[in-house]
Amino acid sequence: MNYFQYRNRALFCEEADVEQIAREAGTPFYLYSHRTLRHHFRVFSAAFAEVPHIVCFSVKACSNTAILRIFAREGGGVDLVSGGELYRALKAGVDPSRMVYSGVGKREDEIDLALRTGILMFNVESFQELETINVRAGKLGVRAGIGLRVNPDVDPETHAHISTGLKGNKFGINVEASLLAYRYAAKLKHVDIKGVSCHIGSQVTKTSPFIDALGRLKDLIRRLREEGIAIHYLDLGGGLGITYDRETPPHPSEYARAIIDASSEMDCTFIFEPGRVIVGNAGILVTRVLYTKENDGKRFVIVDAGMNDLVRPSLYGSFHLIQPVIQREREEITTDVVGPICESGDFLAKGRQMPAVERGELLAVMSAGAYGFSMSSNYNSRPRIPEILVRDDRWYVIRKRENFEDLVRGEEIPDFLNT
């Protein structure tokens, strides 16, 4: 359910006319619906109303501080994967006691920042990281809340690059080794064992992989408790998929039902780290057609957004529905939709059946709210594009368009090149 709809054949975001925004803001830009973001967060959280839980939004899916603020005001926490994300979360006003920190490569300075902030827990991904956190906490005179990120070895049946909970992935510690790691952690002076976590992958469109992972975590928690190691938080990660095309992922309430039913008498507070399911269909990318052309019978629609703005099609072969912002009667064609970047891998769609759009028209690349702007770059020295948030009939620039100055900020020409 989202608030992007056509009214009299013109695309609206809530009560705001997308074409009008484009006229004033220029293209390309990301456009988010405040109502949709809040609705998705509320639906997800409400689905778990009958069990103690914290919804820790996965910052890397969409990192704008204004968007993080929306979730913070709904009582949400965050799942972090870097010091930069922690900085953002603090700026957005997220409560540190609702922050968890995952990632295989946490640096000492990032660990220190998290310790000084007083986050709820680190999801620790190796023995060495565990040792490092203990040492850093000792140095700072604080105690570190930790859980181990367990690799449950379940197949999320998603794209290989976004599957993270399989034997052979770099993430987490396998179940047997994690028992040893917990015993070891229990002896460390500056560490408080708080939870167990896992994150099996992204864009998962079935409940069964989550339930399999939950089963393995439950087993582990039972064994730990038998040894006198108390576990208060069970962090099931994120990963719930959305509909980009014809996928039929479970509704959050279905996902929640299955998890709640499979976890009776666990006596834990649940943590969830949803990213995509909250923001994916709450944002679009608006781009303008620069040119159309035909080469040896193959058609191309060339638009002003490229793989540096939205990399998912190039990186994962992902599908995004592309629609004219203003609809009208016309023939359908089969075409590639490509950007201006000097790479053949720069496309938003390949062999796509879509209306024969013309030069100058606006296109909406749908479902671009997750891993859209947050994965964007300056490749080809293209200024990063603005992020705009709509609330009712008004719109707000929540990140302005970069300019050429921004591109070279921080660069320096050494003296020896000046003479």
Residues that bind ligand PLP (CB under 6 A): 58, 60-61, 79, 81, 102, 199, 202, 237-240, 273-277, 370
Residue (239 or 355) nearer to ligand PLP, CB:
239
**Minimum distance from CB of 230 to ligand PLP (Å)?**
23
Least distance between ligand PLP and beta carbon 306 (Å): 23
> CA triplet 406, 391, 372: central angle to 5 degrees?
45
- Residue 317 carries which DSSP code? -
Among residues 88 and 276, whose Cβ is nearest to ligand PLP? 276
Residue 63 or 202 having the CB closest to ligand PLP: 202
**What span, in angstroms and rounded, lies between the C-alpha atoms of 79 and 238?**
9
CB nearer to ligand PLP: give 306 or 369: 369
CB of 38 to ligand PLP, least distance (A): 17
What is the DSSP annotation of 130-176? HHHHHHHHHHHT--EEEEEEEE------S-GGGB-SSTTSSSSEEHH
Question: Closer CB to ligand PLP, residue 177 or residue 375?
Answer: 375
Among residues 56, 198, 268, 342, which one is catalytic?
342
Identify whether the C-beta of residue 59 lies closer than 8 Å to the C-beta of residue 91.
no
Residue 193 pairs in a beta bridge with 146
Least Å distance, CB 78 to ligand PLP, is 10
287 strand-pairing partners? 363
Phi/psi at 215 (nearest 5 deg)? Answer: -60, -45
- Tell me how far, at minimum, the Cβ of 124 lies from ligand PLP, in Å: 12
Least separation, in Å, of the C-beta of 81 and ligand PLP?
6
The DSSP annotation for 202-252 comes to SSB--SHHHHHHHHHHHHHHHHHHHTT----EEE----B---SSS--PPPH
Q: Quick one: 81 or 284, whose CB is closer to ligand PLP?
A: 81
The length of the chain is 419
Asked if 322 and 303 count as a contact pair (C-beta separation under 8 A), the reply is no
The angle subtended at Cα 16 by Cα 371 and Cα 312, nearest 5°, is 15
Q: How far apart are CA 43 and CA 48, in angstroms?
A: 9
* CB of 99 closer than 8 Å to CB of 117: yes
Nearest to 85 by CA among 266, 235, 275: 275
Q: Which is nearer to ligand PLP, 273 or 346 (CB)?
A: 273
CB of 86 to ligand PLP, least distance (A): 14
Neighbours of 344 (CB within 10 A): 8
Tell me, yes or no, if 342 is annotated catalytic: yes
Q: Which residues belong to the active site?
A: 342
